[in-house]
DNA sequence: AGGTCGGCCTGGCAGC
DNA sequence: TGCTGCCAGGCCGACC
């Protein structure tokens, strides 16, 4: 479940491994991984390509290549990028990147939801519709207010819309709303004033501290060296149905909102008062 | 157009 | 033990 902090962790770990290095070739091992692309284009774009810099946009990883289109990867649910000198024996290796005079980079993904494509005009349109980066200076309370205004959808669902704010997923949406004491079912447009300032603050706070802890590992997520992230034991509500709320002690509740598990404290997290 | 829902996938686990 | 069925969830396409 790589969300922004997990993808940021992967990008930071891969920079020293990949930046300035040259790919000799890529092996594409499962058709679902390149479903959005022409595999021949991918192979030829990556053959002997020099990697200049690595970046992140929302939950996407970007490899900027010298004189080639940018390579974009998305890990979706279960994808991992693992660095190893020796070839991994896993059944779920979907692509292998060969570096000149360097280790192998494995794209491992049991569920094959992950994907990779080139920014050469054939990319999925959704990539260009991504919303504001929540850890950028552009993400201000005022900017969030403009996005929320008039929306009737539950704020939890709103936070998952990548075309509004890019990078928040199911875990950090629940965590930020708990910290802000906002009920996940609150209509997004009803959040104003101090509550909105609070939500802006907790979103930035939760995402930044998860980046500091190398992300959350519930089951699949691994850093490129195979280590899990450390934020999992800092979660206040996610995955803690029935456990006491760290603030008030009342049991955490789980509900389904738009088909997604949503965790919250029914005592501390209120919808806004009617006026 | 905004809001909602189901499908894509497979591993892991609960329940029988 | 071995089977069934459900759950995980990011994103997209279909629908109202």
pLDDT in tens, A105-136: 999 988 888 999 999 888 888 888 899 999 99
Query: What does DSSP assign to residue A70?
Result: P
In a domain, A272, yes or no: no
Which of A107, A129, A151 is the last residue in one of the domains?
A: A129
Asked if A148 and A195 sit in the same domain, the reply is: yes
What residue has token string 């949406």?
Answer: A173
The pLDDT assigned to A111 comes to: 85
Q: Are residues A27 and A82 in the same domain?
A: yes
The integer distance in angstroms from the CA atom of A46 to the C1' atom of B8 is 28
pLDDT of residue A273: 62
Distances (CA, A) of A118 to A63, A74, A208, A237, A239: 10, 12, 29, 38, 36
pLDDT at A272: 64
Shared domain check, A242 and A167: yes
- Residue ending a domain, among A90, A108, A129, is A129
Can you tell me the distance from the alpha carbon of A30 to that of A36, in angstroms, rounded to the nearest whole number? 12
pLDDT in tens, A211-236: 998 888 777 778 888 888 888 888 99
Residue A160, in any domain of the structure: yes
In this structure, the answer to whether residues A118 and A170 fall within a common structural domain is: no
- Determine whether A197 is an active site residue: no
Q: What pLDDT is recorded for position A126?
A: 82
Residue A239 belongs to a domain with what CATH number? 1.10.8.50
- CA dist A150 and A47 (Å) reads 49
A152 and A114 fall within a common domain? no
Low-confidence ranges of chain A (pLDDT < 70): 1, 272-275
Contact A42, A26 (CB under 8 A): yes
Query: Is residue A275 in some structural domain?
Result: no
pLDDT at residue A207, as a whole number: 93
Distance A113 CA to C6 C1' (A): 19
Q: Is residue A56 part of a domain?
A: yes
DSSP structure class, residue A236: S
Domain-located, residue A231? yes
- Residue with token string 């955490």: A252
E strand intervals along A76-208? 80-84, 93-99, 104-108, 115-118
Give the integer Cα–Cα distance in Å for A6 and A9.
5
One domain, residues A92 and A192:
no
Give phi and psi for A171, each to the nearest 5.
-70, -55
**A153, A117: one domain:** no
Quote the Cα angle for A244-A248-A251, to 5°: 30
The residue annotated as part of the active site, out of A5, A8, A56, A59, is A59
Does residue A269 belong to any structural domain of this protein? Answer: no
Question: A145 and A124 in one domain?
Answer: no
pLDDT at A274: 54
Please indicate, yes or no, if residue A170 is contained in any of the structural domains.
yes
If one counts the domains in chain A, the total is 2
The reply to whether A59 belongs to the active site is yes
Domain extent for A168: 141-264
Footprint of strand C on the protein (CB under 7 A): A 1, 3, 58-60, 74, 76-77, 111, 113, 124, 126-127, 160, 162, 169-171, 259-261
Residues 6 or more apart from A64 whose CB is under 8 A from it?
Answer: A51, A52, A53, A54, A55, A70
Average pLDDT, chain A: 90
CA of A152 to C1' of C3 (A): 44
Indicate which CATH number applies to the domain containing A125. Answer: 3.20.190.10
A134 within some domain: no
Domain boundary, last residue among A95, A129, A163? A129
Q: What is the pLDDT of residue A256?
A: 85
Q: Does residue A256 share a domain with residue A218? A: yes
Active site (annotated) includes residue A3: yes
């Amino acid at each position: 479940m790589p969300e922004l902090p997990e993808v940021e962790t992967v990008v930071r770990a891969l920079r020293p491994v990949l930046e300035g290095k040259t790919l000799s070739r890529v092996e594409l091992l499962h058709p679902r991984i390149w479903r959005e692309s022409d595999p021949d284009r991918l192979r030829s774009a990556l053959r002997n390509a020099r990697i200049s810099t690595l970046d992140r946009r929302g939950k996407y990883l970007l490899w900027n290549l010298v004189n080639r289109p940018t390579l974009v990867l998305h890990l979706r649910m279960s994808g991992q990028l693992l660095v190893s000198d020796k070839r991994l024996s896993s059944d779920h290796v979907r692509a292998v990147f060969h570096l000149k005079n360097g280790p192998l980079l494995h794209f491992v993904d049991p569920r094959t939801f992950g994907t990779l494509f080139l920014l050469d005009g054939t990319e999925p349109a959704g990539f260009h519709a991504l919303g504001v980066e929540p850890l950028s200076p552009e993400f201000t309370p005022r900017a969030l207010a403009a996005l929320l205004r008039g929306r009737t959808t539950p704020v939890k669902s709103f936070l998952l819309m990548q075309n509004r704010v890019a990078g928040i997923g199911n875990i950090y949406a629940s965590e930020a709303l708990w910290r802000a004491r906002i009920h996940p079912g609150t209509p997004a447009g009803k959040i104003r004033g101090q509550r909105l300032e609070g939500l802006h603050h907790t979103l930035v706070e939760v995402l930044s501290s998860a980046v500091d802890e190398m992300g959350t590992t519930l089951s699949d997520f691994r850093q490129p060296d195979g280590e899990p992230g450390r934020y999992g034991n800092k979660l206040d509500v996610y995955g803690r149905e029935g456990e006491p709320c760290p603030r008030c002690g009342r049991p955490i509740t789980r509900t389904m909102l738009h088909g997604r598990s949503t965790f919250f404290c029914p005592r501390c997290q209120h919808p806004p008062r009617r006026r």
